[in-house]
Structure formats: C-alpha cells, structure tokens
Structure 1
Amino acid sequence: MMEKLKIGISIGDVNGIGLEIIIKTLADSKIFDYCTPIVYGHTKVASFYRRATEVNELNFNVINEASQALPKRANMINCWNEDVKIEPGVFNKEIGKYAFLSLERATNDLLAGNIDALVTAPINKDTIQSEEFNFPGHTEYLQHRGNAADSLMFLVSDTLRVGVVTGHIPIAKVSESITTEKILSKLRLMDASLRTDFCVRKPKIAVLGLNPHASDNGLIGNEEADTITPAIEEARSNDILAMGPYAADGFFANGTYLQFDAVLAMYHDQGLIPFKQIAFESGVNFTAGLSFVRTSPDHGTAFDIAGKNKASEISFREALFAAIHIVKHRRETAELNEHPLAFTKLSRDRD
C-alpha cells in the first residue's frame, strides 16, 4: 500500500466542467486508497454540480485547514463566503475571481507544505484576469509563485511526452522568442524531469524544427541551423541525449516519437495538436521544473458541454494519479541520492 498523500484540487472556472470532472473522479471510493483529496472551492457550488452529474453518493467533508482532512473522504475547504450565481457554459468575467480564490488558497497550502501536490481543473484564461492574476495561464502563475527561473509545460501520457519551448504567446512572436539559450534551458528541465519525476535513467529526447521540413537545409528559414542545432550540440556536450531537429509532420505521422522518451516542440500548437490527437483522453499537463508538483487535465473549460453531464473525467483522473506518482518518484530519487548503494538493486528491478 502506497503512503497516503494529501492532494489539493483547485476547481477552475465555476461555469466550466471543472467540478463535474472532480466529482466524477472522487465518486470512485478507490481513489481514497491512494490519496486524501482536498478540494478548494465551495460546498454550494459542489452541490449544484453533484445534482447535475447525478452523483448523489458523494458527500464532502467540510474543513477549515488541510490538516483536518479525513483520509477516507473527499474533503472541501470553502474559499469564499458569498453565494455564486452558477451558469454552466456562460462566459462571465465576474465569476473568474472564484477560480483565482480557489487557486490562490490551494497554492498557498502547497507552498506551505500543507498538501503534497496540486491538481488544477481548467480555468478560462480571460475571465480569471485581475490585478492579482496577470498571467497567460496556470504555468506562468505557478512559476511566479514558486520563484522558479524557468519551467516547462510538459504534456505526458503512457506513449508520448511533449514539452514546448514557447507557451502561451502569439504565433507571430514565436520565431523571435526562440533562442539557443531558451532551448537549452528547456532541454535541461526536460532531462532532469525525466530522470527525477519519471525515473528514466538515460533519457532520449527528440527536438523538433521550427520551419516546414525542418527548413530543408536552409531553403525554408535559418532557425534550425542558427539556433536549434547549436542548442542540440551544446546539450549533447553536457550529457543530454538530444537529437534532431526533426520535421514535425513526418515525425508524428510515421511514429518516430515512439523511439524517444520525450519530444521538445518549438511552440504550443506544434506539440499540443499531435499530443491531443494521440493521447487526448489520457493526457496530463505537468509543470516541470518547479520545486512542487502540479498537474492538470490536458483540456480546457469546455463551456459547450458544461453542466450537461457529458464531460469525461478520464484526463482529470490521470492527472490525479500522475501527481501521486511524481511525488513518489521525487521522494524515491531523493532517498537514492542519500543512499546511492540502493540504486543498483532498484535499477536492476526496473530493467
């Protein structure tokens, strides 16, 4: 039996599918064998979505502090006092503040060590904007809160792991934002995460080109020769097994990604479109490079189906278990660093 971890859960946009997928996940009591979930939201909002999803058997244990969480229950911390007008599927700038209140309280507990990891339900990146939250998304906010110099948006599944050099920026700014130093930074984060968070002993990383056909030897742009290839060569000189640059279309179409432990894409859609096509229901968004563990499902608020009991909880459930496994792997790696002689047996068992 694994050690029970306290996993914090932020609810995302109140009018999205966040609480639907949270409730459907926690309705399976087997979850409590692996973790003690603590949802940061409000019981009245949860009750609305319990009725919408027809999950009547799930009752939240209301607590004031994470330390009060019961290990065999779904726990809830109320993050505000006022009543909220819930309108599933409605874009509402006023309601975005509740997504922030949930995220802020959960992040505070995460940084204080009151919970072991954070799983975030989808926010709407527009409605959540305020003086307190002026970030493109979760990744940038959590990097800021964790005082990390850099982070990596890392989409992971059983068959594919994809990170991106540039995240939530306009496509017109991608080329100017890609530098050899930035690619190197992401490769270092990816290599370290594969070793520590996923227990890959000798990570093999594919690097995609930016231009069609990876520029065809300079016929379609010079980023590959001037920026990407030097980063790959520098990474290899630092014992990071990076290869490429590969043309993205053929790389995914012919299954070359299966030969690698992870793929570094140059921009958001280059990596996320194939990832979601290949692993949409089981995919997880993990923020690598932080001192704490944060995961989320690999989809958005899905306003079009919110409140209709149509949302699948599979990706959220995978995100919950991914958070548990990554925390375990980090602690295991820390123990191995303290007791290196144990590494030989563990490696032999895994091989």
Structure 2
Amino acid sequence: MSNELQKPVIGFSCGDLNGIGLELIIKALSDTRILDICVPVVFASNKSINFYRKVVPDVNFSYQSTKEFGKFHHKQVNIFNCWEEEVQITPGQLNEIGGKYALLSLEQATEALKAGHIQGLVTAPIHKKNIQSETFNYSGHTPYLKSMFNANDVLMLMTAENMRVAVVTEHVPVSDIAQYITRETISSKLAILHQSLQRDFGIDKPKIAVLGLNPHAGDEGLIGNEEETIIKPAIKDAKHQNILAFGPYSADAFFARGQYEKFDAVLAMYHDQGLIPFKSLAIGEGTNFTAGLPVVRTSPDHGTAFDIAGKNRADASSFLSSVFTCIDIIRQRAAYSENRANPLKKISARVLANVEDERIVEDDQ
C-alpha cells in the first residue's frame, strides 16, 4: 500500500468564527510537513480562510477548495466549503454569527466523520453560549458527539507527554457535582478509560488512579462520605472487571507529591480537580481526547481566546499537538484491531523482543 493511501484524512471544524480557531488552523497546517502524515480537510469557507490569511501574513498557507468528498487533494490542504455567503467576521466579539457558523462547520464535519469521508476530527474551540440552538443544546463538543454517535457513555481525557487525566463530570456547576458522582457513573468512566488506554494508547495492563471527591478524600467519612459509600465500591467493582484501579486519593497530595507519575492515567471527579493540575504539570502541549466514541476526535486544551483573536498572537502548539494525537490514535486503533484479529502476530512480536533482550544480556556478559 502506498504512503498516499495510508495517510488518514483528518477533518477540522473551524470553531467560533470570531475566536482563534481559523488562525490556529492556518498556522498549524502551513507547515507542509503535515501533508506527509495526513490529508487535511477544513470545514469552513474560502472567504473565511482568506480573511484570517490576512491576519497572519507571515505564514505561507495555500489550499484547494472543494464541495465533493471524493475529490480531496492528498498533497494540499483542502477547504470543504460549508457556506458561500459573505459573513461578517469580527474577531474578539461574542455574537450570534460566530456561533451559527461554528455549528454549521461542526455539523458538516460530524456528518463526514459518520459517513467515513474523514477518519478523524480535530475541533477548534467553540463558545458554549452562542452556539446554543434548536439543534445544539449541549454543554460542549463531548456530549454533542456522544449524541451524534449514539454512544452509551464517553469520557473527556486530557493527554500530554507525561500524564493523562480524565474527569467523571465535565461542564457541571460546582453546586451540582456531588449528585452526578454515582457508583454506576464512576464504573462506566473507569471501563471507558481502561479500554481507551489499551486500544488508543497501546498499554496492555494500564494502572488507573482514582481521586476522591472531598478534601483529604473524605478523611474516612469525617469530611463527606462519598469516598466510602460510592467511590470505593466503584473501584472494587472495577477490580472485579480486571481493571487495575486504585484509590481514592486525596487530590492535593496526589499531584503535589508526583504520585500521578506512577500511573498510566488519573480519573478525577470533576473538571477543575483534574484540569488545573493537568494544565499546571503537563509536559508538552495538552490535548483533549474524547474516549468512548467509535471515531477519533481531539481538540486543543484551551478556548476561543477572544482577547487575542485577530491579532496574530495565537499559539498553535496545542492545536498541532491535537493533530498529532489524532493521527497517533487512528494508527494505534488500527494496530490494536490487527493484533486482535491475529493474536499470534502480537505474541510473535513479544517472543522476538524477549529473544533480543536475552541476546543483549548475553552480549553484556
């Protein structure tokens, strides 16, 4: 099979038109080396792209436009035109236009993903308020994609070079968090995380740390009883499913003492409990990955950044990292499926590796 056919087709939703999404896409895809590893398809319009090309004049960004899925250029960035009309783009402003066209881009990219026209999706940031409509009544990309792909459950998983942090609850008011922390929910999230670590990251026997909900993990019931009545039973349930889950750990000490380095992933109970330490301690650029979907979707670990939109100040590092992560997971899933279809191949690889290790030992002696 030629390298051209092996390259996955990666779709990009443009995010809020008045945010930094299209600027990030232009900067990330302007490096022609990206064309060696994927076929990029941006769901937007030529006019919107050209507007932001003027914002980043120092970047050499070229593309071809198309309205047909079967006519992607494999050696150039493709712009799939989702609309033709003139759109008034006002960088940095929160208005209905930004949300309307963010949704139009996301809907068409999602349909392309469902139909198999693209193999992965990288989503640029949306604003959760102005994208709301009759067809989008969700708190973000994750629940939207869960609904679109009829997934039983999904998991927000933040990944970086040195750590992976998932959350039980996502965009939920702090006053409501406790009611969403149930034994069944935690068990479901642990099952998704375990499977994702195996299938998407190639870890045969992943170790997962589970954080407590309350300060000091409840101090054995003195500061809340969720750890004793909900979280510990869920961890016990997971172990009965051959999932190596441990905890619950006190969140502050767990991260402060570097305990996360001993695990393949961490399951936090709520958004800030997991994302504050992740964004503070992650090495390299973080990526948001939606585990539990039948498809691969990633995004950068930041928002629309209206304060710097249209000023050529957006850093594309996290966005570029989300592109690489998307491609890596697509390839890892393919390898995982191949190994499951042909387990002898995986065993042979392990045997050869062990033989090689023995040779190294003999040589050292």
1:301 aligns with 2:304: yes
Match of 1:41 among 40, 44, 55: 44
Tell me which amino acid in the other structure corresponds to 1:268. H
1:210 aligns with 2:197: no
Q: Quote the residue 1:165 is aligned against.
A: 168
Do the aligned residues in 2 keep the contact of 1:193 with 1:289 (CA within 8 Å)? Answer: yes
Q: What CA distance in whole angstroms lies between the structure 2 residues aligned with 1:22 and 1:282?
A: 16
Q: Quote the residue 2:225 is aligned against.
A: 222
1:238 aligns with 2:229: no
Tell me which amino acid in the other structure corresponds to 1:209. G
Q: What CA distance in whole angstroms lies between the structure 2 residues aligned with 1:116 and 1:350?
A: 31
CA gap of 1:196–1:220, structure 2 versus 1, over 3 A, is: same
Q: Quote the residue 1:86 is aligned against.
A: 89
Q: Quote the residue 2:135 is aligned against.
A: 132
Do the aligned residues in 2 keep the contact of 1:43 with 1:60 (CA within 8 Å)? Answer: no
Q: CA deviation at 1:147?
A: 0.3
Do the aligned residues in 2 keep the contact of 1:20 with 1:53 (CA within 8 Å)? Answer: yes
Do the aligned residues in 1 keep the contact of 2:12 with 2:40 (CA within 8 Å)? Answer: yes
Q: Quote the residue 1:76 is aligned against.
A: 79
RMSD: 1.4
CA gap of 1:295–1:326, structure 2 versus 1, over 3 A, is: same
Q: What CA distance in whole angstroms lies between the structure 2 residues aligned with 1:169 and 1:156?
A: 21
Q: CA deviation at 1:335?
A: 0.8
Q: What CA distance in whole angstroms lies between the structure 1 residues aligned with 2:243 and 2:352?
A: 24
Q: Quote the residue 1:115 is aligned against.
A: 118
> Is the radius of gyration larger for structure 1 or structure 2?
2
Q: CA deviation at 1:43?
A: 1.1
1:279 aligns with 2:282: yes
Q: Quote the residue 2:8 is aligned against.
A: 5
Tell me which amino acid in the other structure corresponds to 2:205. K
Alignment of 1:315-330 (within 5 A): 315-330=318-333
1:344 aligns with 2:347: yes
Q: What CA distance in whole angstroms lies between the structure 2 residues aligned with 1:182 and 1:114?
A: 33
1:249 aligns with 2:229: no
Q: What CA distance in whole angstroms lies between the structure 2 residues aligned with 1:121 and 1:167?
A: 18
Superposed CA offset, 1:201-241 (max 9, x none): 11000000000010111110000000000000110111000
Match of 1:329, SS state, is helix
Alignment of 1:54-65 (within 5 A): 54-65=57-68
Match of 1:341, SS state, is helix
Runs (5+) with no aligned partner, structure 1: none
Q: What CA distance in whole angstroms lies between the structure 1 residues aligned with 2:210 and 2:350?
A: 27
Tell me which amino acid in the other structure corresponds to 2:193. M
Runs (5+) with no aligned partner, structure 2: 355-365
User: What is the percent sequence identity of the aligned residues?
Assistant: 52
Tell me which amino acid in the other structure corresponds to 1:16. G
Q: What CA distance in whole angstroms lies between the structure 2 residues aligned with 1:123 and 1:247?
A: 33
Q: What CA distance in whole angstroms lies between the structure 1 residues aligned with 2:353 and 2:167?
A: 29
Count of aligned positions: 351
Do the aligned residues in 2 keep the contact of 1:38 with 1:66 (CA within 8 Å)? Answer: no
Tell me which amino acid in the other structure corresponds to 1:342. K
Do the aligned residues in 1 keep the contact of 2:161 with 2:284 (CA within 8 Å)? Answer: no
